Chains A and B, each alone.
Chain A
Amino acid sequence: AAAEPLCPVCGAAAERRLLEETVKRQLLDKLRLPERPSPGQHLPRAALNRALRRLQEGGTRTAPGDLERGYEIISFAETEPTSPSALGLQFQFSRTQDQDVHILQAQLWLYLRLPRDLVAALTLRIFLASGEGGLVGGNRTLLSERRLRAKGSGWRAFSLMPALQSFFEGQHGTLRLELESGGDGGDLVAFLNASRSQQPFLVAKAKVREPGHQVAKR
């Protein structure tokens, strides 16, 4: 400011620039982001609002003085049909190495259109795929198996706990799930509407212990 010519407007402009830079730096530091994100995929508003409504159901408020911070995350899947009765879902996560993440809840939301005249039962299995073979060749852990009875279209939630905790404790990066339909109820890919506005998504609630908040061992 001293370098600025002595005029009220210049001083105010200098203060404004300084404060805007401070806001940017504070937010990136506190959100632990190296730089501002540039969101790629444009989400249909309907998909965003629906997912946010799932988030409203009970939050993880951070109490003052809490050593762990509450996070709620919504991640939209990239879908990859691997056969008529199997579909791959991929989710991208990134976190800084020194954060200690504790998953409280994790649910996968799918929009299924089961024909009303579906006679046979349909079984849906959800696997966690890991290893380099991706969705086809790697090894798989069964996360959830359910016989779908209710006919008609609608959103259904499937819990992914406790396996998702192990994903976050181990590597991070790409979470690969594989959905597989069983029984003679027909093929999953035909029932699962993965259009843009009904894209499968994952809702997770977590507590993160920031570095430097390790409780001193007594």
Chain B
Amino acid sequence: SLRCSQNSNLCCRKDYYVDFRDIGWNDWIIKPEGYQINYCVGQCPLHVAGSPGMASSFHTAVFNLVKANNVHASGHSCCVPTRRRPLSVLYFDRNSNIVKTDIPDMIVDACGCS
């Protein structure tokens, strides 16, 4: 999917990194040092609905539905995550035990129009 840039307002992935030191959480989160809280933002006019979806056929299917049902042209679809990955965290819990776990679907890797 697109990474956001200045010259487009289309659906894209905006990257944002939060360092745990900046929020004072590095005393209980041992690893990683920070978290990539990317998010999806931007327009999804109808002609791009369903892209870059899971497969180009998905876009074609959506676009045919739009035409067949004569959906009002000003409609929009939504800019949503289409691929995410887990975040592996090593931290102290409230009993000062050390816990390691993978949190699923925590990092947005790609965005697309629903």
Contacts and interface: CB of A to CB of B under 8 A. Distances in A.
Interface of A: 19-20, 22-24, 26-27, 30-31, 33, 36-41, 43, 48, 51-52, 55, 59, 61-62, 64, 66, 69-76, 91-94
Contacts of B37: 19, 22-23, 26
A40 B96 contact: yes
B86 A39 contact: no
Given A20-B22, A74-B97, 10 more contacts: A23-B23, A33-B93, A37-B96, A38-B28, A40-B96, A52-B90, A55-B98, A62-B102, A73-B98, A73-B100
A72 to B, nearest CB: 4
Nearest to B99: A73
Contact of A33 (B90, B94, B97, B104): B94
Contacts of B98: 48, 51-52, 55, 73-75
Interface string B85-114: 010011111111111111110100000000
Nearest to A38: B28
A84 to B, nearest CB: 29
7 contacts: A27-B89, A37-B28, A51-B98, A71-B99, A72-B99, A72-B101, A94-B95
A24 B92 CA distance: 15
A92 B28 contact: no
A125 to B, nearest CB: 25
In the A-B complex, the 6 residue pairs with the smallest Cβ-Cβ separation, listed nearest first, are A92-B95, A39-B92, A74-B98, A72-B100, A75-B97, A37-B94
A31 B96 contact: no
Contact of B102 (A19, A26, A61): A61
Given A27-B35, A39-B28, A59 B100 contact: yes
Interface residues of B, number: 28
A135 B27 CA distance: 33
A92 B101 contact: no
Contact of B95 (A30, A62, A75): A75
Given A19-B16, A64-B104, A31 B91 contact: yes
Given A55-B100, A72-B101, A37 B93 contact: yes
Interface in B38-94: 86, 89-94
Nearest to A173: B95
A186 B80 CA distance: 67
A41 B97 CA distance: 10
B102 A69 contact: yes
Nearest to B35: A23
B104 A62 contact: yes
Given A37-B92, A51-B98, A69 B104 contact: yes
A48 B29 CA distance: 13
Contacts of B25: 24, 27, 36
Interface string B1-43: 0000000000000001010001101011100000101000000
Nearest to B95: A92
